[in-house]
Chain A
Amino acid sequence: MKAKASRTLCRPLLSLLFLFVFHLPSASAGTTLIGVVMPDDTPYYSAMHRAFVKELKSLTPTGQRLNIIMQRPFPDPIALSNTARKLVAADVNLIVAYGSPATLAVIQEKTDIPLVYAGVYNPEAAAVKGKNVTGCGFKVPLTSILRYLKSLKRISRLSVIYSSLEEDSVRQADELERLTREQHIRLTKINIKSRRDIEKLDSTIDGGAFFITGSAIVNSFIGDIIPMLQEKMAPSAGIFPDQTAAGVTLALYQPPAEQGKKAAEMAARILWGTGPKNIAPAVLRDTELVVNLRAAHKIGINFPIHLIVEATKVIK
């Protein structure tokens, strides 16, 4: 009882402390305050957010001002939770969260502030539900990625680079575990939680093929990971388009701008009166395939012509 009372007292005090320390702006007449939680500075989510802002501005009535509070915490549960609490304390009109971990962190705050999520992998399988929650996620068929990797080289073992701190990254690793089991391919899970795990990575990888999950943490170390894989002459695949710029061999992804635009449409409807529970969540499934011939060349792999023909984008 005592502990509960102390928690009840602590929460508003903590909120006040946040407000005092961070001086967050608050909503005022004619101004709509939107809080955004974007894990780290993940390019996939950034692209989504740019489309979100552009679309929301176009949907905002003349005379109405949008004030966006952008928060980019490191994507571990504590940092995300603190950020969510901070935005709740700032009493924003709407919270936008990118990716499953950020979305779950906001939901855990049990706030009445409407939440619109975007960039959540397969939201139907995630616990991103609540009376004030709606949004749009995406689904990329991991079976296709596995098939494409198999067409690059004979695969007896697949390593999945994921982060146990991110719920959607774990789900992707689990999904691939099931798929590889069905196809008699051995699977190794490589868990990245911090830079320390990257330092150990070089000694744990030894060829095969790699799948890089849609993890903000893994993505933040992508520039360190890829050269190690290339040194082992191992092809890699991911579901974030920007990973190919870092040297990932192929990426199958849902275009982020579409999710940003869709999230903005939902946000606009909520801000101008519709309840989130009256807006059905969406799952975008259309994908684009990028093949990185340059990266493939470095590891001595030639893309088969039929795979190049399927690609939406080719990096030469």
Chain B
Amino acid sequence: MIVHRATKCFAAGRLFLLVFLCLTAVTVQAAQVSAKTGGLLIGIEPEHNIFDQIERYRHLAGYLSDQLGLKIRLTIMSRYGEVIKRFKSRQLDGAFLSSFTAALGIKEFQLEPVASPVNLAGKSTSRGYIFVRRDSGIKTVEDMRGKSFVFVDPATTEGYLFPMAFLRRHGVQNQDKFFSRCWFSGSHASALFAVLDGRADIGAAKDTVFNKQITSDPSIKSELRIIAKSPPVPEVTLCLRDDIPAGLRRRIRSVLLNMGNTARGRQVLKKFAALRFIKANDSDFALISNMAQEAGITMSDYK
């Protein structure tokens, strides 16, 4: 039986849905319970390999639960923008958010940015890259005319906001007319693979995913050319609702910022692939609003 893209997407979607429903079944129940037990439901935005992602966050949730004396439960979003809906319907107490959704959540739901992990390369930020295959001959924006562009998701800074701002700055007012095809891959790694395979001529993704793939396969570096880089933006930030008691928010921040002081904390950080957590602030996200303005994107439209 041959399953074509649409059917395959459906099949892959079903698998994802199954994982998602299992998690949701647990977490929705948890949400109902959380009010009674004092537990917290924390959302995570999806990455390319959600199984690895769940594994990484599971250890962190366990550590937080033990340190805080209350159950921290995780729920994985089906896509980047979904987190906004969940906050709106009050089905989340907090979430580890990428910069775009964090900026949106801070603006629209008064979320408090609490802490950001510092990755193994010593960075808490990421940059957006616009890249092409080296043998494509594309070097300038004008060379991109009539080609195909793969973005990540409309609710990502590195995978949509930055490339849109870059294109506007270089005179591309209507991307649908300028490119032969524009589409969303759903994850940063998928955008990268789409360009590597030739399924798209130009792609955008965040540098941390880009570099991770190069580390696992150094040949990728020689295949791609980076056309543009964005300024650094916070990669992932834990944001909490402002109706969570201020004392609890302070405790959560304190536990995260002091993880490196205990052996178990260091062990969990290692499994989470981070060196430490650092304090996050509202001002970290000012750049995102400016970028959205330049890209002609109204962030409140994402609600």
Residues of A within 8 A of B (CB): 139-141, 143-144, 146-147, 150, 179, 182-183, 252, 254, 285-289, 305-306, 308-316
Residues of A within 8 A of B200 (CB): 286
State how many angstroms separate the Cβ of B53 from the closest Cβ of chain A. 11
Within the assembled complex, what's the spacing in Å between the Cα atoms of A314 and B8? 6
Within the assembled complex, what's the spacing in Å between the Cα atoms of A141 and B222? 12
State how many angstroms separate the Cβ of A35 from the closest Cβ of chain B. 31
The reply on B228 being an interface residue by CB < 8 A is no
Is B3 touching A305 in the complex (CB atoms < 8 A)?
no
Number of B interface residues at 8 Å Cβ cutoff, please give it: 32
B223, closest chain A residue (CB): A143
Is A144 touching B197 in the complex (CB atoms < 8 A)?
yes
The reply on B70 being an interface residue by CB < 8 A is no
A287-B12 contact in complex given A179-B219, A310-B190, A316-B3, C-beta closer than 8 Å = no
Is B11 touching A314 in the complex (CB atoms < 8 A)?
yes
A309, closest chain B residue (CB): B12
State how many angstroms separate the Cβ of B214 from the closest Cβ of chain A. 12
Within the assembled complex, what's the spacing in Å between the Cα atoms of A146 and B49? 20
Is A286 touching B2 in the complex (CB atoms < 8 A)?
no
Is B133 touching A141 in the complex (CB atoms < 8 A)?
yes
Residues of A within 8 A of B4 (CB): 312-313
Residues of B within 8 A of A316 (CB): 1-3, 11
Is A141 touching B1 in the complex (CB atoms < 8 A)?
no
The reply on B198 being an interface residue by CB < 8 A is yes
State how many angstroms separate the Cβ of B285 from the closest Cβ of chain A. 30
- The winner among A144, A183, A309, A310 for most chain B CB atoms within 10 A is A309
A182, closest chain B residue (CB): B219
Residues of B within 8 A of A (CB): 1-5, 8, 11-12, 15, 48-49, 51, 133, 135-136, 148, 186, 189-190, 193-194, 196-201, 217-220, 223
Is A306 touching B2 in the complex (CB atoms < 8 A)?
no
Is B8 touching A252 in the complex (CB atoms < 8 A)?
no
Is B197 touching A315 in the complex (CB atoms < 8 A)?
no
Is B190 touching A309 in the complex (CB atoms < 8 A)?
yes
A141-B12 contact in complex given A182-B219, A183-B219, C-beta closer than 8 Å = no
Residues of B within 8 A of A140 (CB): 198
A289, closest chain B residue (CB): B197
Overall SS of chain A's interface? mixed
Is B8 touching A311 in the complex (CB atoms < 8 A)?
yes
Given A146-B219, A182-B218, A316-B3, 14 other A-B contacts at CB below 8 A?
A: A143-B196, A144-B193, A144-B196, A147-B220, A285-B198, A285-B201, A287-B197, A288-B199, A305-B12, A305-B51, A306-B189, A308-B8, A310-B193, A311-B8
Which of B3, B48, B198, B218 contacts A141 (CB under 8 A)? Answer: B198
State how many angstroms separate the Cβ of B76 from the closest Cβ of chain A. 14
Residues of B within 8 A of A313 (CB): 2-5, 8
Q: Can you give 7 A-B contacts (C-beta < 8 A)? A: A141-B223, A143-B220, A147-B220, A285-B198, A286-B199, A288-B199, A313-B5
A292, closest chain B residue (CB): B2
A286-B198 contact in complex given A313-B3, A316-B3, C-beta closer than 8 Å = yes
Within the assembled complex, what's the spacing in Å between the Cα atoms of A287 and B148? 12
Within the assembled complex, what's the spacing in Å between the Cα atoms of A140 and B196? 10
Within the assembled complex, what's the spacing in Å between the Cα atoms of A10 and B26? 84
Q: 10 nearest interchain CB pairs? A: A285-B198, A314-B3, A287-B198, A314-B8, A144-B197, A316-B1, A312-B5, A287-B197, A306-B49, A315-B2
Residues of B within 8 A of A311 (CB): 8
A310, closest chain B residue (CB): B193
Within the assembled complex, what's the spacing in Å between the Cα atoms of A287 and B133? 13
Within the assembled complex, what's the spacing in Å between the Cα atoms of A141 and B219? 12
Residues of B within 8 A of A150 (CB): 217
Within the assembled complex, what's the spacing in Å between the Cα atoms of A32 and B12? 49
State how many angstroms separate the Cβ of B119 from the closest Cβ of chain A. 20
Residues of B within 8 A of A254 (CB): 198
State how many angstroms separate the Cβ of B81 from the closest Cβ of chain A. 19
State how many angstroms separate the Cβ of B51 from the closest Cβ of chain A. 7
Residues of A within 8 A of B201 (CB): 285
Within the assembled complex, what's the spacing in Å between the Cα atoms of A22 and B220? 52
Is A147 touching B133 in the complex (CB atoms < 8 A)?
no
Is A141 touching B196 in the complex (CB atoms < 8 A)?
yes
Residues of B within 8 A of A141 (CB): 133, 196-198, 223
Residues of A within 8 A of B51 (CB): 305
Is B3 touching A315 in the complex (CB atoms < 8 A)?
yes
Residues of B within 8 A of A314 (CB): 2-3, 8, 11
Is A286 touching B148 in the complex (CB atoms < 8 A)?
yes
State how many angstroms separate the Cβ of B292 from the closest Cβ of chain A. 28
Within the assembled complex, what's the spacing in Å between the Cα atoms of A285 and B132? 12
Within the assembled complex, what's the spacing in Å between the Cα atoms of A12 and B194? 52
Within the assembled complex, what's the spacing in Å between the Cα atoms of A247 and B223? 29
State how many angstroms separate the Cβ of A244 from the closest Cβ of chain B. 9
Within the assembled complex, what's the spacing in Å between the Cα atoms of A306 and B15? 12
Within the assembled complex, what's the spacing in Å between the Cα atoms of A312 and B4? 6
- The winner among A141, A179, A310 for most chain B CB atoms within 10 A is A310
Residues of B within 8 A of A182 (CB): 218-219
